[in-house]
């Protein structure tokens, strides 16, 4: 098919039909990659697509297209001519599909009528739809819209997946990591600390007399207090440490590369950030609520016998001591590896 003949056909159909006008807005146009070695087709396609609101990237051959697709802003909608120099359209489809890209790119293959086998090969190589030259621009537009519907559906699914992943790892009240997530991070940090022969510390942080806050101000106010505590703790921690909600009014923090002395100062800082300022939230309860936390911490240079359970138990024992010694205080358990070894041996002999 000569370019002169096909360009005439394209031009004739450039004005969108009334039935399709405005429908592109329903499915948000995105960026499109147009790959065609024919300058006439390339320009026609680019002009139409820009008129319809798409951002257009153009390539003259398969390799140039492949380079564009390596960029961080690579279009996820593509119009690819089947016959291309250097790297043909079918091979380009195969390359695109050979890597598991998210989001999934949608490929509309342009073929010539007489290229039946190429069309089959193109669909087998991963094209989603095709259009035979010479084509009606309104048909092109409709086919792109159907591609956009699939991309937008995919976008919705990805967002939903992201939301579910967030929910699976976070506590809904405070937005902190939930118990499952923080324990998983502890396993990971423990393995890392072992590899690097670095110390690791954990803290169990418990709100003092929280039941009394619920009793005096109501459960809702108690929730607001927990949210405020979570915010303060997260704000006072280093960016590369972890804090999660371990249970009701109890939080678990993981502090890397920190020994017994280091964790004392750290825990003191957390204790102070709660005790120093009352929580004020007039929208939920009148006045101010003063509260304190007790913190039990354990730090250790980890031997092979150390487990997450041992470290948490050591911090828990220290917390018990902090409560017993008057609350609003920090107690440190020096988690001695020999104790861990002994505990393991005792457990093994008991079993
Ligand atoms: P202590 O100083 O010994 O830690 O005393 P406490 O009152 O803080 O501890 P206790 O374990 O007796 O009470 C904890 C209370 O926390 C009881 C429970 O109803 C409340 N709680 C647990 N989860 C939530 C929550 O999500 N929201 C609210 N408002 N309260 C909660
Ligand atoms: Mg408590
Ligand atoms: Mg408690």
CATH number for the domain harbouring residue 242: 3.30.70.270
Which range has the worst mean pLDDT, 3-12, 38-47, 257-266? 3-12
The first and second tokens of residue 344, run together, are 């393991």
Domain stops at, among 167, 194, 225: 167
Domain that holds residue 51: 3-16+26-167
Are 209 and 88 part of one and the same domain? no
| Domain assignment present for 46 | yes
Are 195 and 118 part of one and the same domain? no
Which phi and psi (to 5°) does residue 130 adopt? -145, 165
| Domain assignment present for 277 | yes
Nearest CA to ligand 1 atom 5: 209
Nearest CA to ligand 1 atom 14: 211
| Domain assignment present for 318 | yes
Please check the confidence at residue 166 and state whether its pLDDT lies above 90: yes
Q: How far is the CA of 227 from the centre of ligand 1 (A)?
A: 13
Are 265 and 344 part of one and the same domain? yes
Q: How far is the CA of 235 from the centre of ligand 1 (A)?
A: 22
Are 201 and 162 part of one and the same domain? no
Does residue 139 carry a catalytic annotation?
no
Q: pLDDT confidence of 13, banded at 50, 70, 90?
A: very low
Are 11 and 117 part of one and the same domain? yes
- The pLDDT assigned to 317 comes to 96
Cα-Cα-Cα-Cα dihedral of 309, 315, 321, 322, to 10°? -150
Q: pLDDT confidence of 17, banded at 50, 70, 90?
A: very low
Are 100 and 195 part of one and the same domain? no
Question: What would the pLDDT profile of 315-348 be if each residue is shown by its tens digit?
Answer: 999 999 999 999 999 999 976 655 555 555 456 5
Domain stops at, among 167, 189, 223: 167
Cα→Cα distances 178→169, 171, 221, Å: 6, 5, 21
The first and second tokens of residue 224, run together, are 């607001």
Are 32 and 130 part of one and the same domain? yes
Mutate to test the pocket of ligand 1, among 178, 179, 205, 214 (most ligand atoms within 8 A of CB): 214
- The pLDDT assigned to 105 comes to 93
Q: For 24, which DSSP code?
A: G
| Domain assignment present for 218 | yes
- The pLDDT assigned to 241 comes to 95
Q: How far is the CA of 346 from the centre of ligand 2 (A)?
A: 31
| Domain assignment present for 21 | no
The first and second tokens of residue 268, run together, are 């003191």
Please check the confidence at residue 84 and state whether its pLDDT lies above 90: yes
Are 210 and 102 part of one and the same domain? no
Strands 55-59, 31-35: pairing kind: parallel
Burial 312-325 (b: 16+ CB within 10 A, else e): bbbbbbbbbbbeee
- Candidate list 249, 261, 277, 331, residue with the active-site label: 249
Are 155 and 261 part of one and the same domain? no
| Domain assignment present for 174 | no
Q: How far is the CA of 220 from the centre of ligand 1 (A)?
A: 13
Which phi and psi (to 5°) does residue 246 adopt? -90, -35
Over range 245-250, report the average pLDDT.
Answer: 97
- The pLDDT assigned to 300 comes to 83
Are 244 and 286 part of one and the same domain? yes
Q: pLDDT confidence of 178, banded at 50, 70, 90?
A: very high
299 neighbors 201 (Cβ within 8 angstroms): yes
Please check the confidence at residue 109 and state whether its pLDDT lies above 50: yes
Over range 171-181, report the average pLDDT.
Answer: 97
Q: How many domains does the chain have?
A: 2
The first and second tokens of residue 326, run together, are 């008057």
Are 104 and 222 part of one and the same domain? no
Query: Mean pLDDT in the chain?
Result: 86
Q: Which atom of ligand 1 is nearest to the CA of 207?
A: 8
User: What is the percent of the chain where pLDDT is above 90?
Assistant: 66
Are 225 and 260 part of one and the same domain? yes
Question: What would the pLDDT profile of 181-230 be if each residue is shown by its tens digit?
Answer: 999 999 999 998 888 888 999 999 999 999 999 998 889 889 999 999 99
**CB neighbour list of residue 228: distance below 8 Å, 6 or more residues apart:** 279, 281
| Domain assignment present for 172 | no
The CATH number that applies at residue 91 is 3.40.50.2300
| Residue labelled with tokens 């923080």 | 182
């Amino acid at each position: 098919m000569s370019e002169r003949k096909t360009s005439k056909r394209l031009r004739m159909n450039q004005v969108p039909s009334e039935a399709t006008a405005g429908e592109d807005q329903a499915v948000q146009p995105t960026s499109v990659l147009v790959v065609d070695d024919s300058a006439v087709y390339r320009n026609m396609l680019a002009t139409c697509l820009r008129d319809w609101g798409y951002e257009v990237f153009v390539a003259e051959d398969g390799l140039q297209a492949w380079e564009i697709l390596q960029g961080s802003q690579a279009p996820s909608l593509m119009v690819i001519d089947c016959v291309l120099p250097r790297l043909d359209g079918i091979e380009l489809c195969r390359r695109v599909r050979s890597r598991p890209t998210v989001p999934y790119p949608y490929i509309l293959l342009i073929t010539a009528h007489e290229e039946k086998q190429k069309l089959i090969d193109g669909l087998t190589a991963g094209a989603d739809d095709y259009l035979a030259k010479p084509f009606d621009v309104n048909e092109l537009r409709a086919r792109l819209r159907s591609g956009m519907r699939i991309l937008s559906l995919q976008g919705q699914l990805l967002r939903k997946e992201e939301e579910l992943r967030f929910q699976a790892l976070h506590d809904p009240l405070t937005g902190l990591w939930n118990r499952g997530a923080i324990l998983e991070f502890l396993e990971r940090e423990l393995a890392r600390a072992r590899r690097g022969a670095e110390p690791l510390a954990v803290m169990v942080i418990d709100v003092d007399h929280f039941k009394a806050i619920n009793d005096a101000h109501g459960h809702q106010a108690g929730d607001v207090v927990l949210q405020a505590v979570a915010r303060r703790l997260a704000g006072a921690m280093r960016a590369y440490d972890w804090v999660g909600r371990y249970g009701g009014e109890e939080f678990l923090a993981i502090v890397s590369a920190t020994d017994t002395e280091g964790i004392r100062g750290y825990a003191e800082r957390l204790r102070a950030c709660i005790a120093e300022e009352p929580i004020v939230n007039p929208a939920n309860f009148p006045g101010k609520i003063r509260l304190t936390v007790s913190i039990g911490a354990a730090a250790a240079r980890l031997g092979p016998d150390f487990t997450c359970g041992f470290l948490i138990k050591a911090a828990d024992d220290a917390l018990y001591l902090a409560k017993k010694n008057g609350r609003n205080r920090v107690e440190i358990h020096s988690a001695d590896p020999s104790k861990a070894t002994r505990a393991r041996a005792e457990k093994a002999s008991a079993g």
